[in-house]
A and B are shown apart, each in its own frame.
Chain A
């Protein structure tokens, strides 16, 4: 070991340096004391180095942090005991030891040499924490001598000039290490059931030791307490009623804002931005939430405290240290927090401090970006607060609160400042207002659709939104129901009725949204064509925002699940069912259900091919609406318990078309529409089909994986469970046994005789990480590769009129929607022209080679690329994934032979693309 050799050399070899001469002399003189001291130094050195190795090998972040703290403690001891700064090079330590002995035998200071060494070894970006700690070791404040860098020098000047006590605690690690015991005591108070009697004294003590004001330390402590309360509120929130959640939402939000578990929050509070806002929402929280939930909240807080682990405690301790450090930085910098430039500098420095102390881990490449984001967030939120505050001020000047004098008493007494009160009042009003149906829907429209088009004033005109959105005239039963739902007493006294009404309101909203979605999207498509903003931005993301936004804004989870089924997961592996209806208890008027699925089957009417209601009893009672509203306005969900069936049959279908579970299910819904809850006009085929498809999507979504779904002769059985949800199962009848194909697939046998009409679609892998990995690693290459294969196979399918298929498919819009054809092309029927990034490509759709080229182009397209495909008098205008999926789906659907390798590859391709699209949507 090099260090040991060097250590020995000091006693055995003669060196030309003064230090070595001195050592030699000392050794020759039998300087036992010096040798003993060096041995002790070496022992400590070995101990520290050993721990450093341990830390560098440790993969556990907490453990690493713990070891680092221990290392720092040892280093401090080292310095104190040997009057030497610690160096990872033992030669330097011994050199310093002897230099000190010679030049300053009595001073006990090695700082001069240490500082020099520090200058020789500048801080290395991304270096190990141990090394950084070593290099950035802070000297006691106001200490003279050369500094390790200019910044520290300036800080020391400020400390001196400002007479700042305990300036060294601007460094997080100094707080962590030197005040470990104090922080520990305070942390303990936060995680024990009962308050520590010594808490007050401990806080005072910490204030004294840090040189901060007692109130500042208490504020830091309270912030941590708020974290616990926030956590408790979140827990309670999970089991609360909607109105309960509304009031709890205040507390939850306040908790987030007062908490310091994030850098933005720490800075937001630390630099004092938005303080009147914070004070106001505290009041709101106290008045609204805690008053209502005091008991349950206290109990939950206790429970959470007791569940805290050592890791949690370490995290709390780190946050306390960071908060103290920030306060000291502000004190030292004498930062004018109203000056944005000053504040930004402070924030920048603080993030750097946190990063250096290991409290936040940042990829070196992302440091600048992250700092920018945090600074923008802190400053931006402050600006937003100021903007609202300015409007409040105007209202205050108009004497608004003269009218509301009693609020002073309500919130906290006469001492409350007017503007704090006013903020609380406005927030409270806003919270109530968003529960008003008209406002709720207006907000919903913004939350979804309109925000997607926000920047650059690209807002869709109001006429794009169907008139019923936001409508709440007195004749509308929907709003009567909504009003009922908003009545606390009604909810409390009539829980069953409440749930029924809620269910009806949800269904209504979903139905309306379904109709409106199409109109919204159509309008949006028009906008896309003329809107430069979208053209130069990530178009696909906007489409995701548009569709997702409209859905989010206007409807509930039902439609989303239905859409998810259509777009991403044909096999029912879409998002979990969170349907509130499924949680509905059953009281009066609830259906009597068969005891088990087997019992259900006993009721099946055996008549072939025609869906037949076996049990359609017990429709929901409508007198739950006191005003006598009819069911015609609000479609009532079907509470009928029953079983319906439809045999899979290709009879009557065109060549190339095949029956499937989807088709059979849809057929049942169409045939039994009224009995299954359809309230629209049966003569409106389009609306009926839409409804049936939506119901089918939901039903399959509820039905888990259906294996080998399409054997002709098998039976699709639709059942309604006790909660009113529909499920599908496939029973063996005259067809092959369901699951047969799966068996053959796993055994690797290929049997051409099997009448396979649709390759089995396995349940999609929904593991997010895997999807992400797959997408990032394989996307482009995989897409191109598979597209090639598909195109190759297409070459073998020349006899199919794919051109006609695509041209007629629904994925193509009318040519009227495209204002300008690419490069003013004149089109012939069957021509297929693709325009991408200003270039135009011509394809012959009858030619498989053209398809190969087309798919290659699609595969090579980036997410931002826009392309236009024109075929005859139809156009497909879109981007890769968004439009490639339906394109392929259409081709697949129209292939006469689903057993072909083309069909299988296409299917796989579609599934992969859907995964990618899903990933993109979530990304």
Chain B
């Protein structure tokens, strides 16, 4: 399982946390022995699903007004500006960090369970 060493070899300030979580899910699901290409595929797929869940967690916790504002914030892009997003979160979901923690925890349990069935 060379996952850890791979991570330590990178500059982690630039790392993508969703992929690191994905890597650890792979380990926990005992899929780390798969060939590298398979592992890469699973990691990338999981990472996007993690991002998707993250988006869901936020959207589920936004009020109607917040959702409306988010749709305005999107402008012409599907990925909003993080700074504007933070302002929106501060305004509409003051405890968003806790919400994210709880939501991610749920996702990770689900993911490990799904991959170890």
**B82 (CB) vs chain A CBs: closest residue:** A435
Complex CA–CA separation, A391 to B8 (angstroms): 34
Shortest CB-to-CB span from B50 to chain A, Å, is 7
A287 at interface by CB-CB < 8 Å: yes
Interface centre among B5, B49, B51, B85 (most CB of A within 10 A): B51
A380 touches B117 (CB 8 A): yes
A384 touches B46 (CB 8 A): yes
**Set of chain B residues within 8 Å of A433, measured between Cβ atoms:** 51, 54-55, 58, 82, 85, 89, 100
A432 touches B114 (CB 8 A): no
**Set of chain B residues within 8 Å of A316, measured between Cβ atoms:** none
A430 touches B54 (CB 8 A): yes
- Contact check: which of A254, A369, A445, A922 meets B5 at CB < 8 Å? A922
Complex CA–CA separation, A441 to B100 (angstroms): 11
B56 touches A410 (CB 8 A): no
A293 at interface by CB-CB < 8 Å: no
- Contact check: which of A274, A281, A435, A454 meets B112 at CB < 8 Å? A454
Complex CA–CA separation, A429 to B83 (angstroms): 12
**Set of chain A residues within 8 Å of B42, measured between Cβ atoms:** 264, 377, 381
A262 touches B79 (CB 8 A): no
A247 touches B79 (CB 8 A): yes
A469-494 residues at the B interface, CB under 8 angstroms? 470, 472, 483, 486-488
**Set of chain B residues within 8 Å of A379, measured between Cβ atoms:** 114, 117
A545 touches B24 (CB 8 A): yes
B9 touches A578 (CB 8 A): yes
**A274 (CB) vs chain B CBs: closest residue:** B45
**Set of chain A residues within 8 Å of B110, measured between Cβ atoms:** 384, 387
Question: Digit string of A686-718 for contact with B (CB within 8 Å is 1, else 0)?
Answer: 000000000000000000000000000000000
**Set of chain A residues within 8 Å of B28, measured between Cβ atoms:** 451, 454-455
B97 at interface by CB-CB < 8 Å: yes
**Set of chain A residues within 8 Å of B59, measured between Cβ atoms:** 395, 400, 426, 429
Complex CA–CA separation, A922 to B4 (angstroms): 6
**A389 (CB) vs chain B CBs: closest residue:** B52
Question: Digit string of A533-558 for contact with B (CB within 8 Å is 1, else 0)?
Answer: 00000000000110011011101110
**Range, interface on chain A:** 35 or more
**A243 (CB) vs chain B CBs: closest residue:** B82
Question: Digit string of B52-83 for contact with A (CB within 8 Å is 1, else 0)?
Answer: 11111011100010011011001011111111
B14 touches A580 (CB 8 A): yes
> Given A429-B80, A443-B100 in contact, is the A253-B47 Cβ separation under 8 Å?
yes
Shortest CB-to-CB span from B36 to chain A, Å, is 8
Shortest CB-to-CB span from A387 to chain B, Å, is 6
**Set of chain A residues within 8 Å of B20, measured between Cβ atoms:** 444, 447-448, 552-553
Question: Digit string of B5-44 for contact with A (CB within 8 Å is 1, else 0)?
Answer: 1011111111111101100110111110111011011111
> Given A257-B41, A268-B41 in contact, is the A428-B11 Cβ separation under 8 Å?
no
A443 touches B17 (CB 8 A): yes
Complex CA–CA separation, A394 to B17 (angstroms): 27
Shortest CB-to-CB span from B69 to chain A, Å, is 10
B115 touches A380 (CB 8 A): yes
**B43 (CB) vs chain A CBs: closest residue:** A256
**Set of chain B residues within 8 Å of A403, measured between Cβ atoms:** 64, 67-68, 71
**A381 (CB) vs chain B CBs: closest residue:** B45
**B81 (CB) vs chain A CBs: closest residue:** A432
**A563 (CB) vs chain B CBs: closest residue:** B8
A245 at interface by CB-CB < 8 Å: yes
B55 touches A384 (CB 8 A): no
Complex CA–CA separation, A259 to B45 (angstroms): 11
Shortest CB-to-CB span from B116 to chain A, Å, is 7
- Contact check: which of B13, B18, B68 meets A434 at CB < 8 Å? B18
A430 touches B50 (CB 8 A): yes
B44 touches A256 (CB 8 A): yes
Question: Digit string of B68-108 for contact with A (CB within 8 Å is 1, else 0)?
Answer: 10110010111111110110010000001100110011001
A555 touches B83 (CB 8 A): no
**Set of chain B residues within 8 Å of A441, measured between Cβ atoms:** 97
B13 touches A556 (CB 8 A): yes
A572-624 residues at the B interface, CB under 8 angstroms? 575-576, 578-580
> Given A429-B59, A439-B100, A552-B7 in contact, is the A400-B67 Cβ separation under 8 Å?
yes
Shortest CB-to-CB span from B6 to chain A, Å, is 9
A432 touches B46 (CB 8 A): no
> Given A384-B111, A580-B14 in contact, is the A923-B2 Cβ separation under 8 Å?
yes
**A280 (CB) vs chain B CBs: closest residue:** B52
**Set of chain A residues within 8 Å of B51, measured between Cβ atoms:** 426-427, 430-431, 433-434
Shortest CB-to-CB span from B81 to chain A, Å, is 7
Complex CA–CA separation, A406 to B81 (angstroms): 18
- Contact check: which of B13, B16, B58, B105 meets A429 at CB < 8 Å? B58
Complex CA–CA separation, A659 to B98 (angstroms): 49
**Set of chain A residues within 8 Å of B115, measured between Cβ atoms:** 376-377, 380-381, 384
**Set of chain A residues within 8 Å of B43, measured between Cβ atoms:** 256
**Set of chain A residues within 8 Å of B71, measured between Cβ atoms:** 403-404, 406-407
A244-274 residues at the B interface, CB under 8 angstroms? 245-247, 249-250, 252-254, 256-257, 259, 261-265, 268, 274
A854 at interface by CB-CB < 8 Å: no
Shortest CB-to-CB span from B45 to chain A, Å, is 5
> Given A257-B45, A265-B41, A374-B34 in contact, is the A432-B24 Cβ separation under 8 Å?
no
B105 touches A288 (CB 8 A): no
Complex CA–CA separation, A448 to B8 (angstroms): 12
> Given A430-B54, A433-B85, A557-B11 in contact, is the A447-B21 Cβ separation under 8 Å?
yes
> Given A424-B78, A544-B4, A560-B8 in contact, is the A242-B14 Cβ separation under 8 Å?
yes
A388 at interface by CB-CB < 8 Å: yes
**Set of chain B residues within 8 Å of A376, measured between Cβ atoms:** 29, 31, 115-117
Shortest CB-to-CB span from B5 to chain A, Å, is 4
Complex CA–CA separation, A466 to B69 (angstroms): 33
Shortest CB-to-CB span from B65 to chain A, Å, is 10
**Set of chain B residues within 8 Å of A444, measured between Cβ atoms:** 17, 20
A436 touches B89 (CB 8 A): yes
A442 at interface by CB-CB < 8 Å: yes
A264 touches B34 (CB 8 A): yes
A436 touches B114 (CB 8 A): no
- Contact check: which of A283, A377, A447 meets B34 at CB < 8 Å? A377
> What 19 additional pairs, Cβ within 8 angstroms, besides A373-B30, A373-B33?
A256-B41, A257-B41, A262-B41, A274-B45, A373-B31, A381-B46, A381-B114, A381-B115, A384-B46, A426-B52, A430-B52, A433-B58, A436-B82, A436-B89, A454-B105, A454-B108, A545-B27, A548-B8, A564-B8
- In the assembled complex, 19 residue pairs joining A and B whose CB atoms fall closer than 8 Å, in A order, are A254-B48, A256-B40, A277-B48, A277-B49, A370-B34, A376-B116, A377-B42, A426-B51, A427-B48, A438-B96, A438-B100, A439-B100, A442-B101, A443-B100, A548-B4, A552-B4, A557-B13, A560-B8, A580-B13
For the complex of A and B, the 3 pairs showing the least CB-CB separation, nearest first, are A430-B51, A429-B55, A426-B55
Residue positions of A touching B, CB distance < 8 A: 242, 245-247, 249-250, 252-254, 256-257, 259, 261-265, 268, 274, 277, 281, 283-284, 287-288, 369-370, 373-374, 376-377, 379-381, 383-385, 387-388, 391-392, 395, 400, 403-404, 406-407, 410-411, 423-448, 450-452, 454-455, 457, 459, 462, 470, 472, 483, 486-488, 502, 505-506, 509, 544-545, 548-549, 551-553, 555-557, 560, 564, 575-576, 578-580, 921-923
Residue positions of B touching A, CB distance < 8 A: 1-2, 4-5, 7-18, 20-21, 24-25, 27-31, 33-35, 37-38, 40-56, 58-60, 64, 67-68, 70-71, 74, 76-83, 85-86, 89, 96-97, 100-101, 104-105, 108-112, 114-117
